[in-house]
Structure formats: C-alpha cells, structure tokens
Structure 1
Amino acid sequence: MTDFIQVRTTTGDHAVVERIATELVDRRLAACAQIAGPLTSTYHWQGEVETSSEYLCTLKCRASAFDEVAELIGSLHPYDTPEVIGTPLSHVSRAYAAWLDETLSR
C-alpha cells in the first residue's frame, strides 16, 4: 500500500480542466495530470436526468493532501457540486512511487 491516490474530476469546459491540471501540478499537489475527452456523462441533477459532454482530469496525489486538492478543485470549478473522487493506489511500481514521492510537496 502506498500513500498515493488518484483523484478525478470532470467538467464541461476544456479551459477549466486545463487550469485545474496546471494549478495542481504547479503547486506540486499533483505529480501529473491526464485530461481525456470529451466523454458523455449521464446523471441526475435537480430532479432531471441530464446528459452532457465533459472532460475527465485524472491526477496523481498524496493521500494526505486530498482535502487541499479537493478544496483547490472546488475553488476553480464552475459546478455547484463538482466530482472530486480520490482512489487509493494500492499497487505502484517502485520507480513510479519514487518519482511521485520526489515530485510531490510534503
């Protein structure tokens, strides 16, 4: 088990997802960020089923930084309730874990 997590968020605006990725990497709260999309999301919102085009941002972070990461994403995100999900990375190669450890702020 490592102390690293993968955090994901989505948004419909490519410029916003790029800003989230850049801010988190610049602040060393994320070692790296991948942006994928557009993808189609279907969800319940305010009593209706909605479908929209979104971009997915996946970030590699320290588990101990999750609250700070989530707060920063929320401050940059246009949604009322942005998706911010952290998943523990239970298996990481030694070389990649060493790079994460070196890259991320303490």
Structure 2
Amino acid sequence: MNTLSSHVLDTTLGKPAQGIELTLTLPDGSALTGETDSDGRFKNWAIDSANGFPAGVYTLRFHCKPYLIEVHGSSFYPHIDITFELNENGGHYHVPLLISPFGFSSYRGS
C-alpha cells in the first residue's frame, strides 16, 4: 500500500510554510487538492481506495507564489512541480519542499 505526505519549509525564515495550496495530479489525469497546515504539512489526500495510491507517475504542484509574495514580498516561482513515481507496494512516500523567494529543493523524505 502506498501513502503520501508532504512538508514545505521556508528556508529563509527557517520555519514551516503554512497555507500553500497543493494540487496532486494522478496517473489517470485526475487531480486532488490540499493545503499545508500550520506545521507546513499535508497528508490528508482524499483517495477512494483501501489500498492507498496505485503505482504510477504523479505530479505534485506547490502553488507557492501567494505565500512567497505575502511573506517575502517577491516570488520568482509562480508554482513548483515535482514529478515522481510510486512503485507497487512502495510504502510511505514523503515529498518535502524547501523554498525561498529565489530557490527550492526537494528529495524523497521518510
């Protein structure tokens, strides 16, 4: 069974990024949405399956411009897309994003 979570950290402030809208595009082209909580986390994807997420290629879009404009006054990135692949019975996948007004990085977390 595959599960998915994300975490957004503002590296300029050294704090979680609250209120960033997320769009997860599934392998079949459908999309789910969410928003980071006060700790910059989101894990409550509404998926109608007892088996979690099926294997396939996903894209997680972080709509970071409103947050970066509000907190830092500028944003080079209107959004950041991270495309990744889930394997059959891959377990838990965690996609963290580290952002600043002019840079970002990501990795497979735990």
TM class by shorter chain equals 0.3 to 0.5
> Is the strand fraction higher in 1 or 2?
2
> Is the helix fraction higher in 1 or 2?
1
Higher relative contact order (CA 8 A, sep 6+): 1
